[in-house]
Chain A
Amino acid sequence: MSLLDVAGIDVHYGDFQAIYNLDLHVDEGETLAVIGANGAGKSTLLKTIAGLMYPTSGSVSFEGADITTMAPYKRVPKGIALTPEGRKIFRSLTVEENLKVGAHTKRKGPWNLQTVYEAFPLVEDRKDRLGVNLSGGEQQAAAIGRALMSNPQLLLLDEVSLGLAPVVVEQIYAAMPSITAQGTTVLVVEQDVNQAMNVADRVQCLLEGRTVLEGPPSTLTRDEIASAYFGI
């Protein structure tokens, strides 16, 4: 069954409309990758699912319950966690403190300090370092760990690879199987199409706030994706 159902949402920044009548669903245990160029509305979509923005029309439901207007901090105990664009690690807190803040809601599940450290050895190495002193890749790994600490049913990952060296991106994506093996449903937003195709069960491509292509990676050709991605 569908874990997350986004039905016909419009999302605006003031007068600017970022998303047009968009539908999206994620099944339990599935990994969905949303791809698209800059300004396609990918991050806006994740913010709307996490509750940092509200749609001007349409609805968002999670586990069959309507959460369209629910405050973001009430969605976390329900099992939605977002690793935001720019990672947003708490700068004056150590890495371990960042993880502990992530566990604030005390939601039960497989993830705790120990299991996060096993999935991300890099994070354990840096656990006593202040957030402000981390490199981009360390921040990204810590941010994913922090989101996992809330034991989400649905993990939203925004632009994991943005601004990171390819080798670091590889390391972070190496942890993905251990996350999905726990039954966690993942919605990942990526500009890096190859990474997205590798991890995803299904890909949905956005262009200027609308879905232009959707399907399992195996059924989509490179040309189809390229034309959907760039709108040509």
Chain B
Amino acid sequence: MQWLNAVIQGVLLGGLYALLAAGLSLMFGVMRIVNLAHGVLAMLAAYLGYVVVNNMGLPWFVAVIVVVPLMALVGFILQWGLFNRALSKGGLAPLLVAFGLAVVLAQLLQEFFTADTRSIKIGSIGTDSIQISDDIYIGVFPLVTFIVGVLVIAGVQIFLNRAPLGRAMRAASDDPDTVKLMGIDNRQVYALSTALALATVGLAGIFIGTKTQFSPTYGDLVLIFAFEAVIIGGLGSLWGTLVGGIILGVSQAIGSQINPSYGLLIGNLVFLAILAFRPQGLLPKAVTT
């Protein structure tokens, strides 16, 4: 029974990882940008949420309403001002720009908020749980996180499949020069893609900042988890990212069940095994361009 419990908790944790990884997957899928600042940006969102809830005393959901659009705006500006310029300088430039951004942003967060660990207050819902059987409890907050993670992945995927802008994003991903011949400014599409990606990062940052104690350097771990979820699932596939997040979460939960200190280790080993034996990931994009 305790193993079943570990799997259930792992699946729920996987929803959080999928939520964390969605933005990374989207930015790579559309622009081939490996955003090394992803984790730090999630921390920025967590700190913004912290200011809204802990400092200003506003309800938790207000943090979501404020921070998500704010992060989308940050994404638009970053893409328009930094990444679009970097993209025109070749494949390596965006990677270096993202790395530089990660370093600078982490330092700025440290300057403003110190290195102390913090956590966003949420009240009793943070510890409430539903009893499933004698020894299986499901936390309400992890359950909500999981549902939000699945909804975000599904929502972004449906947007990409159905919406004209989503279609333009996929077309720009296939061939950025030819979309210009369709009357589409690919730089604008990129800016909106990053805005969407960072909106999901904003949501993820608030959830992770509520679930756990964070500090500016916690972004490094977030980046690794997001990377592992994306790679396990297959680059450029959002459903793959959800599967990857769940596999990572379950691996960590089972590892922790074996020995409380094995969680991260087992998660990383499963990631390495996938990288070694199925480097394209479990659900790779059907068409590689």
Contact indicator A92/B181 (Cβ below 8 Å)? no
Interface hit among B95-103, B182-190, B267-275: B182-190
Query: Within 8 Å of chain A (Cβ to Cβ): is B86?
Result: no
Interface hit among B47-55, B163-171, B223-231: B163-171
User: Which chain A residue lies CB-closest to B285?
Assistant: A92
Contact indicator B168/A90 (Cβ below 8 Å)? no
Query: Within 8 Å of chain A (Cβ to Cβ): is B289?
Result: yes
Cα–Cα, bound, A98→B181 (Å): 12
Interface hit among A100-108, A113-121, A193-201: A100-108
Contact indicator B167/A91 (Cβ below 8 Å)? no
Contact indicator A101/B171 (Cβ below 8 Å)? yes
Query: Within 8 Å of chain A (Cβ to Cβ): is B251?
Result: no
Cα–Cα, bound, A97→B171 (Å): 9
Cα–Cα, bound, A105→B289 (Å): 25
- Number of A-B residue pairs, CB cutoff 8 Å, is 79
User: Which chain A residue lies CB-closest to B161?
Assistant: A97
Interface hit among A74-82, A170-178, A203-211: A74-82
Contact indicator A72/B289 (Cβ below 8 Å)? no
A-B contact pairs, 6 of them (CB 8 A): A52-B177, A74-B183, A88-B177, A98-B171, A101-B171, A104-B164
Contact indicator A104/B182 (Cβ below 8 Å)? yes
Given the known interface contacts A88-B175, A88-B178, the answer about A73 and B170 at a Cβ–Cβ threshold of 8 Å is no
User: Which chain A residue lies CB-closest to B183?
Assistant: A76
Query: Within 8 Å of chain A (Cβ to Cβ): is B173?
Result: yes
**A92 contacts which of B177, B179, B286 (Cβ < 8 Å)?**
B286
Contact indicator A71/B180 (Cβ below 8 Å)? yes
Contacts of A55 in B (CB 8 A): none
Contact indicator B183/A150 (Cβ below 8 Å)? yes
Query: Within 8 Å of chain A (Cβ to Cβ): is B287?
Result: yes
Contact indicator B164/A100 (Cβ below 8 Å)? yes
Given the known interface contacts A71-B180, A104-B182, A104-B183, the answer about A92 and B287 at a Cβ–Cβ threshold of 8 Å is yes
Interface size for chain B: under 10, 10 to 19, 20 to 34, or 35 or more residues? Answer: 20 to 34
**A101 contacts which of B179, B185, B286, B289 (Cβ < 8 Å)?**
B179
State the Cβ distance, B25 to closest chain A Cβ, in Å.
Answer: 15
Cα–Cα, bound, A216→B157 (Å): 53
**A71 contacts which of B177, B179, B185, B289 (Cβ < 8 Å)?**
B185
Query: Within 8 Å of chain A (Cβ to Cβ): is B220?
Result: no
B residues adjacent to A (C-beta < 8 A): 164, 167-168, 170-171, 173-175, 177-186, 285-287, 289
Contacts of A102 in B (CB 8 A): 182
Total contacting residues, chain A, CB less than 8 A = 31
Contacts of A122 in B (CB 8 A): none
**A84 contacts which of B167, B171, B178, B183 (Cβ < 8 Å)?**
B178
Contact indicator A101/B182 (Cβ below 8 Å)? yes
Cα–Cα, bound, A72→B184 (Å): 9
User: Which chain B residue lies CB-closest to A100?
Assistant: B167
Contact indicator B181/A50 (Cβ below 8 Å)? yes
Contacts of A91 in B (CB 8 A): 174-175, 287, 289
Contacts of A105 in B (CB 8 A): 182-183
Query: Within 8 Å of chain B (Cβ to Cβ): is A132?
Result: yes
State the Cβ distance, B177 to closest chain A Cβ, in Å.
Answer: 7
Given the known interface contacts A100-B164, A100-B167, the answer about A92 and B182 at a Cβ–Cβ threshold of 8 Å is no
Contact indicator A90/B180 (Cβ below 8 Å)? no
Contact indicator A81/B181 (Cβ below 8 Å)? yes
Contact indicator A77/B178 (Cβ below 8 Å)? no
Cα–Cα, bound, A88→B177 (Å): 9
State the Cβ distance, B206 to closest chain A Cβ, in Å.
Answer: 32
User: Which chain B residue lies CB-closest to A72?
Assistant: B180
State the Cβ distance, B212 to closest chain A Cβ, in Å.
Answer: 37
Query: Within 8 Å of chain B (Cβ to Cβ): is A130?
Result: yes
Query: Within 8 Å of chain B (Cβ to Cβ): is A67?
Result: no
Query: Within 8 Å of chain B (Cβ to Cβ): is A3?
Result: no
